C-alpha cells in the first residue's frame, strides 16, 4: 500500500517537474557553441546517475536528508514531524549554514537544508535517505515573491536596521544564529527586495501610505516591486526560474559542484539540453525515500507519517522528545523566518542556534518526554502543531507588512491573477457561461436602462443591415 501511494506521489511529482521545466525546452537550436555545451551537460548527467539504483529506496537509512525546496510547506514538516521524531542531538549541527556544516558528528542522523542536492557530496551516500516536497511551480513563484516582500518589509518596520548585513551581523552576534539572510535563496532575494522597497519609499516621500485604490496587491508599484517586474528580472531568472528542478539536480548558484554555473549557462543558452537535466531530476526523485506534494498536503502528511515516521520510530524504539507544543523552542531551531532583535518583536525571532545551545535544550527535553510514540500519536501532534504554526505565521506576517499594507496578498487575488495569467479573465468567462439575458439581469431583476440600450443596439444593427441590402440592390439595377 505504501509503495503504491509513493508511486502515485511520484507520478504527480514528475508532472510538476515537467511543468517547471517547460522553459528549458527548445524553440530553436542555436549552433553557437552547441557541441561544447552538449558535451558539458551530458558529461555532468553521466556523472550524476547510477547512485544506489540497486538499493532498497523505501527503507530508511542511517541519515535522513530533508531537501527543503523553499515555499513548499517544508517548515511544517520540520517543526511538526521531524522535531517530534529526532532529538536536538541527532540533528546535524548548523546544517542550514553550509559554511559551518558538520555532518561528521557521531550522533548526526538528520540534515534539513535549503542547499541543493549537491550537498550529498558531503554526506555518506550509501547511508543517506533523501526526502523532499514539490509544489506547483506557478504557486511557488507567487509564494517566493510574497515571502521576499514580507521579510524585506521588516526593514521598513525597524528603521534602526539599515541594511541586510547589519541585521545578519546583529543576529549572529547576539544569538550565534543562522538567519534567513544567510540561507539560499533568501540571502540573494531579500537584500534585492529590501533595496527596491527603500527606493520606492524614498520616491513617494517617506513612510506615509498612499491612498491608492488599486485592487491588485501584486501591482502596487509605488510601494512594492510589481510581480511581473520581479519574475522578469535577471535575478529571478538566475534563482527562481526552474528553481526546484535545479535544486533537485544540484545546479543552483549555491551548488557544491564547481561546474554548476557552466551547466546552467549551457542549458539557458540551448534550451533543448534541459531535457537532459529533467531526466536527471526524475531519476533523483525516483531514488528518494519520500516525495510529498504541497497541493495534496493532508494525504502527503499521512504518507510521510506512515512511511518515514514509522521507520524512524521503529529504529529508535522509543521517542525521547517532549510532545508539548512550544513554538518558541521550535522557532529557536529553524531559520525559515527571521525577525530583528527588538524588545517588542524578540518573541518572533526564528533562527538556528549553535550546536551547544541545541545540546542544552536536548538535555532537558529528553528527560521529560520519554515514552512510546505511535504513528497515530504523531499525526495528532502534527495536527495540533500545524494549527499553532499557521497562527504564528499569520501574526508575524501582519507585523511585517505594516508599512506596505496594500501588498497584503490574499488567496483570492492569487487565484484571480493566475486566471488572468492563463489568458482567461473573469469577464471572458462570464460571457462564455451566460447568455444575454443573464448578463443584463441579476437575480431575476433586469435593469431598464440595460434593456433600452440593448434594444437600441439591435435596432441600429437591423437598420444598418437593411441599408446595406437596399444599397446593394440599387447598385445591381444600375449595372443592368
Instruction: Please indicate whether residue 438 is annotated as part of the active site.
Output: no
Neighbouring C-alpha atoms within 13 Å toward the C-beta of 118:
20
Check 91, 146, 339, 406 and give the catalytic one: 146
Inter-helix orientation angle 34-48/274-287, to 10°: 10
Largest CA distance in the chain: 110
Instruction: Please indicate whether residue 125 is annotated as part of the active site.
Output: yes
Give the bridge partners for 134, in sequence order: 293
How is residue 395 written as a grid cell?
A: 501574526
CA–CA gap between residue 90 and residue 39 (Å, rounded): 42
Check 125, 170, 302, 397 and give the catalytic one: 125
Tell me the Ramachandran region of residue 258: left when phi exceeds 0, alpha when psi lies from -120 to 50, beta otherwise: alpha
List alpha helices for 49-93, DSSP H: 74-77, 83-85
Residues 6+ apart with CB under 8 A from 413: 215, 216, 217, 218
CA–CA gap between residue 355 and residue 373 (Å, rounded): 26
Neighbouring C-alpha atoms within 13 Å toward the C-beta of 334:
22
Asked if 93 and 102 touch (Cβ cutoff 8 Å), the reply is: yes
The residues that are catalytic are 125, 146
Amino acid at each position: 500500500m505504501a509503495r503504491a501511494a509513493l508511486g502515485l506521489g511520484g507520478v504527480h511529482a514528475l508532472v510538476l517537474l515537467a511543468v517547471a521545466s517547460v522553459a528549458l525546452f527548445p524553440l530553436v537550436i542555436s549552433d553557437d557553441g552547441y557541441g561544447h555545451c552538449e558535451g558539458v551537460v551530458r558529461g555532468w548527467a553521466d556523472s550524476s546517475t547510477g547512485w544506489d539504483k540497486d538499493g532498497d529506496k523505501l527503507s530508511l537509512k542511517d541519515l535522513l536528508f530533508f531537501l527543503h525546496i523553499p515555499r513548499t510547506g517544508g517548515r511544517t514538516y520540520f517543526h511538526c514531524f521531524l522535531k517530534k521524531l529526532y532529538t536536538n542531538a541527532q540533528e546535524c549541527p548548523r546544517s542550514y549554514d553550509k559554511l559551518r556544516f558538520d555532518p561528521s558528528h557521531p550522533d548526526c542522523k538528520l540534515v534539513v537544508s535549503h542547499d541543493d542536492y549537491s550537498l550529498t557530496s558531503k554526506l555518506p551516500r550509501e547511508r543517506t535517505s533523501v526526502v523532499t516536497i514539490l509544489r506547483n511551480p506557478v504557486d511557488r513563484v507567487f509564494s517566493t515573491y510574497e515571502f521576499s516582500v514580507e521579510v524585506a518589509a521588516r526593514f521598513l518596520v525597524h528603521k534602526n536596521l539599515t541594511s541586510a548585513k547589519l541585521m545578519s551581523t546583529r543576529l549572529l552576534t547576539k544569538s550565534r544564529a543562522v538567519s534567513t539572510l544567510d540561507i539560499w535563496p533568501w540571502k540573494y532575494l531579500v537584500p534585492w527586495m529590501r533595496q527596491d522597497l527603500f527606493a520606492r519609499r524614498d520616491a513617494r516621500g517617506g513612510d506615509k501610505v498612499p491612498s491608492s485604490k488599486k485592487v491588485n496587491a501584486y501591482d502596487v508599484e509605488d510601494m512594492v516591486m510589481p510581480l511581473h517586474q520581479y519574475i522578469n528580472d535577471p535575478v529571478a531568472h538566475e534563482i527562481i526560474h526552474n528553481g526546484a528542478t535545479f535544486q533537485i539536480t544540484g545546479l543552483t548558484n549555491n551548488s557544491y559542484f564547481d561546474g554548476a554555473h557552466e551547466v546552467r549557462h549551457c542549458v539557458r543558452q540551448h534550451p533543448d539540453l534541459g531535457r537532459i537535466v529533467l531526466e536527471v531530476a526524475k531519476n533523483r526523485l525516483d531514488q528518494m525515500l519520500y516525495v510529498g506534494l504541497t497541493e495534496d498536503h493532508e494525504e502527503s502528511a499521512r504518507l510521510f507519517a506512515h512511511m518515514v515516521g514509522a521507520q524512524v520510530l521503529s529504529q529508535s524504539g522509543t521517542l525521547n522528545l517532549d510532545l508539548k507544543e512550544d513554538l518558541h523552542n521550535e522557532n529557536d531551531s529553524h531559520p525559515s523566518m527571521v525577525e530583528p532583535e527588538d524588545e517588542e518583536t524578540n518573541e518572533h525571532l526564528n533562527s538556528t542556534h549553535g550546536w551547544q545551545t541545541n545540546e542544552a535544550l536536548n538535555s532537558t527535553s529528553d528527560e521529560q518526554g520519554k515514552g512510546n510514540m505511535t504513528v497515530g500519536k504523531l499525526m495528532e501532534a502534527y495536527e495540533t502543531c500545524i494549527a499553532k504554526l499557521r497562527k504564528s505565521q499569520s501574526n508575524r506576517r501582519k507585523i511585517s507588512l505594516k508599512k506596505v499594507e496594500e501588498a497584503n496578498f490574499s488567496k483570492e487575488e492569487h487565484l484571480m491573477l493566475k486566471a488572468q495569467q492563463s489568458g482567461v479573465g473573469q469577464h471572458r468567462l462570464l460571457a462564455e457561461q451566460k447568455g444575454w439575458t443573464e448578463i443584463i439581469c441579476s437575480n431575476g431583476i433586469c435593469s431598464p436602462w440595460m434593456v433600452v440600450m440593448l434594444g437600441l443596439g439591435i435596432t441600429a444593427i437591423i437598420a444598418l443591415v437593411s441599408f446595406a441590402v437596399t444599397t446593394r440592390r440599387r447598385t445591381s439595377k444600375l449595372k443592368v
